[in-house]
Amino acid sequence: MKRMLTGLQPSGELTIGSLMGGISQSVQYQDEYESFIFVPDMHTITVPQDPKELHERIKRNVALYIACGIDPDKNTIYIQSENFYHANLAWVLECNAYMGEASRMTQYKEKSQNMKNIPVGLFTYPILMAADILLYDTDYVPVGIDQKQHVELARDIATRFNNKYGETFKVPEPMIPKTTAKIMDLQNPTKKMSKSTQNQKGIIYLLDTEEVIRKKIASATTDSDNFVKYDAENKPGISNLLTIYAYFKKTTVEEVEEHFKDSNYKDFKGEVAKAVIEGLAPIKEKYKKLINSEKLDKILDEGREKVNALAEAKIKEVYHKVGLFR
Ligand code: AMP
Ligand code: TRP
């Protein structure tokens, strides 16, 4: 069975963007592939965090993954910082990656743009991500389009290492979802809905209350046409709502367009809110049962034991190849 691996950063509360662009893909493929899902918490400290909040979010995120349909019997679920080998491998890979290629990462350029003191970790972060992937002989990496460049970097580093030291790493492939590749911010529909955006009005969190969801969707930015039609370029707000509705109703954008062709924006938004609320209700229910349960700790303990053993074998192989042994 091919192995699939992905991680969702605990940099903020999970949003419907994380669900549609990230988690749902993993759910879809969990029967087809051997699946590893982890919390890349070490990536999160590349920008300042409140330690207490970060700590609490880690478990909350895991509970949400499972509530969203990640089946602990079919997936290996773990926390990155509980396995010390990620950082070990990252170091070796950093010594085999170039300043030039790391400097080309668009996410780094964006994130560091307005920073006075840029943490070195923010710059090397894609190489830690390469380590996350290469440590486990991953075949496929399901990610949103914004992470594709990082997976390509992992491919380049793996290939280079293999050529230099002999076959060591599997060269991974990114898996990008087609229809829900990018969910936009409701207030600012030309920007990605991101769990780390300050203004929360444009973001729907998985744990938002019904009232909050209704309000956020009602005040979503649209346009002055007042007809529902998919046109990402000229009608980004409406197109985004169409995509969201189609996802939660498990249908296509074309069908939704047809369904709402005579509706005004107010009615359409009401229906979108209803679809999102209905879609999130069972997730919230499951989450509440899990968050303080012993079951959650057991899942994470098992995940840690399993990946530690795999990672240890891989890092030993790597250290031998580069001459790091007695
Ligand atoms: P993030 O939530 O930004 O840490 O991203 C976690 C994963 O979910 C990555 O694979 C992202 O590409 C994906 N993702 C996050 N937000 C969105 C979004 N608004 N639309 C599509 N995919 C997203
Ligand atoms: N960098 C990814 C993000 O910000 C998270 C991540 C870290 C990841 N390591 C990974 C995703 C390995 C897939 C595979 O979304």
Q: Model confidence over 33-77: pLDDT tens digits?
A: 999 999 999 999 999 999 999 999 999 999 999 999 999 999 999
The verdict on the CB of residue 10 being under 6 Å from ligand 1 is no
Q: Which of 13-22, 125-134, 208-217 has the lowest mean pLDDT?
A: 13-22
Ligand 1: distance of its center to the CA of 21 in Å?
A: 5
Closest CA to ligand 1's atom 22: 21
Is pLDDT above 90 for 144? Answer: no
**Model confidence at 179, in pLDDT bands (50, 70, 90)?**
low
Domain 200-288 has CATH 1.10.240.10: yes
Average of per-residue pLDDT across 152-164: 98
Is pLDDT above 60 for 180? Answer: no
- Mean pLDDT (the chain) is 95
Backbone angles phi, psi at 277, to 5 degrees: -60, -45
Tell me which ligand sits closest to the C-alpha of residue 125: 2
- CATH 1.10.240.10 segments of the chain: 200-288
Q: What is the pLDDT of residue 300?
A: 97
CA distances, 214 to each of 84, 273, 292 (Å): 43, 5, 28
Q: What is the pLDDT of residue 21?
A: 77
List, in order, residues 6 or more apart from 1 with CB less than 8 Å away.
33, 34
**Cβ < 6 Å from ligand 2: which residues?**
5-7, 9, 40, 43, 129, 132-133, 141, 143, 147, 150
Q: Which of 70-79, 120-129, 196-205, 290-299 has the lowest mean pLDDT?
A: 196-205
Ligand 2: distance of its center to the CA of 8 in Å?
A: 6
Q: What is the pLDDT of residue 198?
A: 85
Q: What is the pLDDT of residue 146?
A: 86
Ligand 2: distance of its center to the CA of 176 in Å?
A: 13
Residues with active-site annotation: 111, 192, 195
Average of per-residue pLDDT across 290-309: 97
**pTM for this entry:** 0.86
The verdict on the CB of residue 216 being under 6 Å from ligand 1 is no
Pocket test for ligand 2, best of 150, 152, 196, 197 (most atoms within 8 A of CB): 150
Q: Is 31 exposed, middle or buried (0-12, 13-18, 19+ CB in 10 A)?
A: exposed
- CATH 3.40.50.620 segments of the chain: 3-180+294-322
Output the CATH code of domain 3-180+294-322. 3.40.50.620
